[in-house]
Amino acid sequence: MLGERLKKLRNERKITQEELGKKVNVTKVSISGYENGNRNPDTETLQKLADFFEVSTDYLLGRTDDKPNEKKEVKQLSIAFRDGGQELTPDEEEFLEQQLQQFRELKKRFMENEQKDGK
């Protein structure tokens, strides 16, 4: 179960085994071994993997199917828009999330109009 979930999460992030290995301080061979079920990460590495993918170790190990109920996009925005090392306030995060939703809706409408116009 660990291997399947690890590979799925890695592919969702569109990163290579080598890139993931660098993030958690193991080799590409180790990541490949975890994904193929030929090897198991130690406790520290398992926690690093869970932290990187923002899931629990229980999720990685298949003990639960529940992923954390975090808003990944907002968290990523918070990191991307740091100002002098300060994270966004909850109000700022909410505002940016609303702006992102509005942008996506406008983009969707624009793309639909482009298709109708045959462009």
pLDDT in tens, 93-109: 778 778 888 888 888 88
Whether 96 and 74 have beta carbons less than 8 Å apart is answered as yes
pLDDT in tens, 17-59: 999 999 999 999 999 999 999 999 999 999 999 989 888 888 8
The helix, strand and coil proportions of the chain, stated in percent and rounded to the nearest 5, come to: 70, 0, 30
- The H or E element that residue 44 is part of is helix 43-53
Is the model's pLDDT at 64 over the cut of 90?
no
Rounded-to-integer distance, Cα 85 and Cα 94, Å: 19
Q: What is the mean pLDDT of the chain?
A: 83
Q: What is the pTM of this model?
A: 0.58
Rounded-to-integer distance, Cα 78 and Cα 80, Å: 6
